């Protein structure tokens, strides 16, 4: 019978998140509303949806987040240099 424990008594990575929950760390700030997160333990990537809940990061959502990130950069650049209020 195969055990789910490591020799030092700790649960394996893939079971640790299912038992105790994920430990998300913010990896990329898209804008004020959206961010990308990654679990420290299992390396699962998630992002925020419109309601603020975390959903799994797919390639389609990754492309959308990248586009939003570059639009936000462009907006910041334009507001900083072209629409100054001196």
Q: Which helix (H) or strand (E) holds 29?
A: strand 24-29
Overall number of domains in the chain: 1
Domain assignment present for 68: yes
**Has residue 48 been placed in a domain?**
yes
Would you say residue 3 lies in a domain? no
Round to whole Å and give the CA distance between 16 and 10: 9
* 16 located within any domain: no
Q: Which domain holds residue 66?
A: 23-80
Residues in contact with 57: Cβ distance below 8 Å, sequence separation at least 6, in sequence order: 36, 45, 46, 47, 65
- Residue matched to tokens 């679990």: 39
Q: How many residues does the chain have?
A: 86
Output the six-digit token pair for 67. 């586009």
55 assigned to some structural domain: yes
This prediction's pTM? 0.72
List the chain pLDDT tens, one digit each, 86 residues. 443 333 454 456 667 888 888 899 999 999 888 999 999 988 899 998 888 899 999 999 999 999 999 999 998 888 887 766 65
Q: Is residue 85 part of a domain?
A: no
* 76 inside domain: yes
Q: Is 32 domain-assigned?
A: yes
């Amino acid at each position: 019978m195969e055990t789910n424990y490591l020799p030092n008594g700790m649960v394996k990575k893939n079971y640790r998140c299912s038992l105790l929950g994920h430990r998300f760390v913010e990896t990329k700030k898209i804008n004020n509303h959206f961010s990308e997160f990654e679990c420290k333990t299992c390396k699962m990537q998630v992002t925020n949806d419109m309601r603020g809940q975390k959903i799994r990061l797919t390639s389609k959502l990754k492309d959308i987040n990248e586009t939003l990130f570059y639009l936000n950069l462009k907006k910041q650049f334009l507001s900083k240099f072209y629409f100054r209020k001196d």
